[in-house]
Structure 1
Amino acid sequence: MATYKKRGYKSKTNKEERVADEHSATEEVFSTLDESASKTEEWVSRNQQYILTGIGVIVVVVLGYLGYQQFVQNPKEAEASNEMFFAQQYFDEAVNSTAKDSLYGLALNGAEGKYGLLDIIENYSGTKAANLAHYSAGMAYLNTQQYQEAIQYLEEFESEDPILGALAKGGIGDAFVQLGQEADAIAWYDKAIAHNDNNFTAPKFLFKAGTVSMELGEYGKAVEYFNRIKEEYPSSEEARTIDIFIGRAETLSK
């Protein structure tokens, strides 16, 4: 039996079918999005009070922080820095003077109605000046043979500065040496060395760590410290005579 096509009839091409499928899929996507948007709107409507409260809290916190910085912290920083100027003057004079103990005492405790380092730490906690006062106070105590106090204040000093940060850690090591706690001293010298790889503090504390290792009879360890000075910091002051120390440590290690 013969078959025939109706006049005017054309079967759908693959392209037309694909377009129809894509159109249907797009409608489903938009329908899903509409449903999701509707649910979101309902959720927002139900929880509007909580959302507005949350936003309000965030705004208050941000404005409070900015206000605190502007009207409380910044003036406090300025006042602390001004007070620090006089205490630091006494400290700097002590470093370059023969009457060290009395000047360090003035730096710590103040004079003539001016705050000392300890007053600044107590009254301006959280300021940059108070943080620096921890360093200066720690060094003042170290130089007046008050080693426990030196450790206490230097440990509370925080700084990423390559020199001051390393000197503070090394100062703690020096205090432990004086207290007869050589192992603790070496641990702090290691922290000072690791703090920053510069040509001043790193060889300085490598040498101290090597010297204390020698005192403990750890000659192989001393050789390692001394060799690092020779290899990594050949232009440092410590490198000038380091071969003598390397030779002595190597001889004793055999």
Structure 2
Amino acid sequence: MLVAAAVCPCPPLLVPEVAAGAGPELDAARNACLDAVGVLAAARPDRLIVVGPAEPDGRGPFPPGSNGSFAGFGVDLAVRLGEAPAGSPAPQRALPASLAVGAWLLGRTRWDGAPVEGLGVGEPLATDRCLRAGADLAAGAERVALLVMGDGSACRTVKAPGYLDERAVDFDAAAARALGDADVAALSALDESLAYELKAPGRAPWQVLAGAAQGAGLGGRLLYEDAPYGVGYVVAVWS
């Protein structure tokens, strides 16, 4: 059963070494993310899964001990998703960027609790499949926690990666409200086609969370909401 969740954005710029001179612009988001991960630790889960958007080669499960790197962003910085069980073979696949950012957040909080796994989900994954995937995750242990990585729309300003789309503000507001209220029905109702048009890769991971939270009775709290660089970022906790 799901006992806690933290929702965080996943731009590599959250990592100060990647952001370089732009680092202070994301201080508030970064600090909120670290606070959210602290809520996961306090829940004392038996299993923690980091869920985030991924390209085709980064989709599917990642076992404990999976490695990631920010070398693709010009920084010689490696991260690891928890510890591999003793005697198990070294994981072969590299973490997608979203899960690497999640691993970095866990490393900053010195996570030493439950085993940590990862799940990369495709941006176009249908809502019903997201919900089923989340339900399967929640059924995997008595006390499950999720670290859900994902950005909102990339269309909030003319300088945003997706340029300006007037629908983006309302979409992000609805998503933030649902995440802050732990509103499973509202998250499940997010329009997958609109999310894709607005370049909002967080939609699929958020709906995985909705599937995991069915019947859990968790409450939500919004820690951060803004759109630096024209991209919607939300930090929330469910417990």
> Shorter chain as normaliser: what TM range?
under 0.3
In proportion to residue count, which structure has more helix?
A: 1
Larger Rg: 1 or 2? 1
Higher RCO (CA < 8 A, seq sep 6+):
2
